[in-house]
Amino acid sequence: MNPLGTHLLVDLWSGNGEKMNNLEYLKRTMSGAAQVSGATVLKTVFQDFNPHGVSGVVVIAESHLTIHTWPEHGYAAVDIFTCGAKVDPWKAARFLKEELEAADMEIRDFQRGLPPHQNSANQTGDGTRNAACRNTHRQ
């Protein structure tokens, strides 16, 4: 494979249910996780649910972070997808574990990209392979 990015699927268990049900807190915390990882935050969209739970996405110049919470179970499912060499998605995962006070965390790590036989004709000068990973973006 010719990797374009790293995709972490993160399960956080036995976390703080109040924090996991607080839309504004999660918006700040997810944006903070992106910043800690070295990513550039472009947009956020979050929605809370009745009676509980929050879903949200942080769009970063290098891809995205998403979360869905089940505060009644102290559980959060997080997706961190990054591309480029300057972002460390593992830092974002550790930050979220600490901020949500999760007792346990499991991370599945995937490399995403092109099949081995496809060339990297779209390679940019900064080592990335597509527009979503470049330093400049439409806003």
Is there a domain that residue 127 lies in? Answer: no
Is there a domain that residue 28 lies in? Answer: yes
- pTM for the full predicted model: 0.85
Give the model confidence (pLDDT) of 109-134 as tens digits.
999 989 888 765 555 444 444 445 54
Give the pLDDT mean for 62-82. 98
What CATH number should be reported for the domain holding residue 80?
A: 3.60.90.10
Domain that holds residue 41: 9-113
Give the model confidence (pLDDT) of 8-23 as tens digits.
999 999 999 999 999 9
Is there a domain that residue 15 lies in? Answer: yes
User: What pLDDT, on a 0 to 100 scale, did the predictor assign at position 121?
Assistant: 54
The Cα 13–Cα 130 span in angstroms is: 35
Residues shown for the chain: 139
**Catalytic sites, residue numbers:** 63, 68, 83
Is there a domain that residue 48 lies in? Answer: yes
Is there a domain that residue 131 lies in? Answer: no
**pLDDT higher than threshold 50 for residue 86:** yes
Q: Report helix, strand or coil for 29.
A: helix
Is there a domain that residue 30 lies in? Answer: yes
Is there a domain that residue 2 lies in? Answer: no
**pLDDT higher than threshold 50 for residue 105:** yes
Q: Contact at 8 Å (CB) between 67 and 55?
A: yes
Give the sheet arrangement for strand 54-60, strand by strand.
41-48, 54-60, 63-70, 75-83, 2-13, 104-114
Is there a domain that residue 126 lies in? Answer: no
Domain count for the chain = 1
User: What pLDDT, on a 0 to 100 scale, did the predictor assign at position 94?
Assistant: 98
Query: Greater confidence, 86 or 124?
Result: 86
